[in-house]
Structure 1
C-alpha cells in the first residue's frame, strides 16, 4: 500500500506515469468512467477548501466511485478531541482511500502511520501540497510540452506558501531548471529550502524584489498572494504590495508563450484584465486538478485501467 504525503514519495518515473495517465483521461474521459465502481474516497478536511476538496470528490465521482467525509474540523469528532490516529483507524473501515487536509504540519503522515488504506496529503499547514504539485506539473507538461529546460518564477509569499515549496521540490529533479524567486524580504523562501533543495541540487537561482525586471526571462510565472497578515507593520505592506500585482502592463514585458499560473484563490495579486490573456492558465490549471487526481486515485488503488 502506498501513500502520498510529499511530492518526493513519487519517483520521477511514477510522476511521469501519473501525468501520462491524466493526459489519457483528458483525451478519453468516458473510458475511465466506471473504473472505481464500488470504491469510496473519504475527504477529511480539517480546514476550509474549495478547489482541492471538490476536485477530489469530482475525481472519484468521475471514476464511478462515491464520496464521504467532512469539510471542517467543527463538523467532525476532532471538535470533541479525537486524535488523527483514531479518526483514520475508523475511516479505514468505511472507505478505500482517504484525502486529508490539516492545519498542522505532519498530520497526514501521522494518519498514514495508522491507516490501513492509502492516505493522500491534501495540504498540511505550510509544509506540503503534493496533489497541487501534480496539478501544476500536468499544467506545465500539457501546455508547454516539457518539464525540463524551463525558467520558473515564483512570486509573492514564498515563505509560507506550501504550493511553492512542493513544486520546487518536484522541479529540481528535472534537467535545466532555473528559478527566479520574487518576494519581499519578509516572505523569502525558507533557508532550508534554499540550501537543502535548491543549492544541494545545483539549481541556478536568483532572488529579486521587483517583478518587472525579470518578466522577460520567464517561461512560467507562478503567482501567489502577498499576505498582509504576515507583515510586521502596515507601512511595509503598502510599500511592497504593488510590486507583486500582475497586470496587463507587466504582461507586455513577458514572452509570448509564458504561462501564468496560480494555485488559487486569487485576491488582488492578478488583475482581472489578465484573465483575457491566452497566457493566463490558472483556471485551466484548476480543471487539470480533477484529471490528475483521477489518475492518482487509480494508481493508489491499483484499479484496472492504470
Structure 2
C-alpha cells in the first residue's frame, strides 16, 4: 500500500511509478471534490529564500483551501538570516511553530539538510539547480490531463537544460512511462551528461539536438524553459545564449508539427516564448500553473496523513 504519511518530498528520485500515479490520482480527486476542513488546525511554514510566485502562492492557496493556516516569509532579508543565522538553526526553530515546512533555497542540498535537522515533513520547493519535485508532479498531471495518458509519448525539452531543475526531475519521472526524449539546447546548456547516461541505462531513447528542425513532427509535447540568468556566474556567458530560442505561433506554422502538440513551460517566461502562442490550442502552460493547486493539495493531504 502506498503511504506518504510524514514523508519528506525532497527529490523525485525517491518515488517509484506507483507512488507518482498515486499522487496524480489523488490530485484528480482534489479537483473533483471540495475539501474545506481537511487540514483544519494544521500549519504550513512557507520559507522562500529565493523569489517565487506560482510555487509559493499555490502551496499557500492549497493549504488555505483545505482549512489549514500558513506562516512564513518570501523575503529572507527580514528574518534572522540577515543577522547571520544558519539555515540549520532557522528550520530547527521554525519546526516548533508548524506541522510541515515548504522550503525554497538557492543552495543545492538545502532541503535535505533541513529534513535531516527537523522531525516534521519537509517539502523541497526548489534547491538551486538541483530538484523541484512538486513541479514534476504537476507537470506529469498536466501532461496526463492534456494528452490523455503518460505512456509512450515523445517529448522535446527546449532551452536551458543544464541549470533547469524542472527538466532534470521531469525527465527522470517520465523514464517510468516509456517516453522518448529529445533534449534541444545550445552546446553550453546541454542536459548534464550523468543525467543522459542514467536515462540510457534505464533504456530511455534520448537524443541531443540544437534545434527543432527535423524533429518537430515527432513531438507530442514541447517542454520549454527559460535561460536562467541567475544561475550564471559570468554575465557575458549569459548574453551569449540569451534569446537563442524563441517559440512563436509563426515559428510553429513554419515547422511540421502534430495538430495535438502541447507546449508546457514551468514559468516565468522572459523572451523564449512569444505571447502569440497564448491563444493557440498548443499552449497549456497557464493551465499547468493552475494545476499546482490540486496537486499540492494532494501532496499536503497525503504527507500530513489526513488522506490515505
Do the two structures share a fold, i.e. TM-score over 0.5? yes
Q: Unpaired runs of 5+ in structure 2?
A: 1-5
User: Aligned partners of 1:288, 1:259: CA distance in 2, in Å?
Assistant: 15
Which residue of 1 is the match for residue 19 of structure 2? 14
Does the CA contact (< 8 Å) of 2:163 and 2:228 recur in 1? no
Residue 237 of structure 1 corresponds to 241
Q: What residue is the counterpart of 2:110 in the other structure?
A: 107
- Residue 262 of structure 1 deviates from its aligned partner by 0.1
Deviation at 1:234, TM superposition (A): 7.7
What is the aligned length? 298
Counterpart pick for 1:185 among 180, 184, 187: 187
RMSD: 1.6
- TM, length-normalised to structure 1: 0.93
Counterpart mapping for 1:176-255 below 5 A: 176-195=178-197, 197-227=198-228, 230=232, 232=236, 236-237=240-241, 241-242=243-244, 244-252=245-253, 253-255=256-258
Helix, strand or coil for the counterpart of 1:89?
helix
* CA deviations over 1:181-211 (Å, ceiling 9, x no partner): 100001001111111x212112111111112
TM-score, normalised via structure 2 length: 0.93
| Partner in structure 1 of residue 40 of structure 2 | 37
Superposed, which structure 2 residues align to 1:32-111 within 5 Å? 32-111=35-114
The answer as to whether partners of 1:225 and 1:267 remain within 8 angstroms in 2 is yes
CA offsets per residue over residues 127-160 of structure 1, 9 Å max, x none? 0000100110110111112111011100000000
1:141 to 131, 135, 144: 144
Q: Is the 8 A contact 1:212 1:250 kept in 2?
A: no
Equivalent residues of 2:186, 2:241 under 8 A apart: no
Unaligned ranges ≥5, structure 1: none
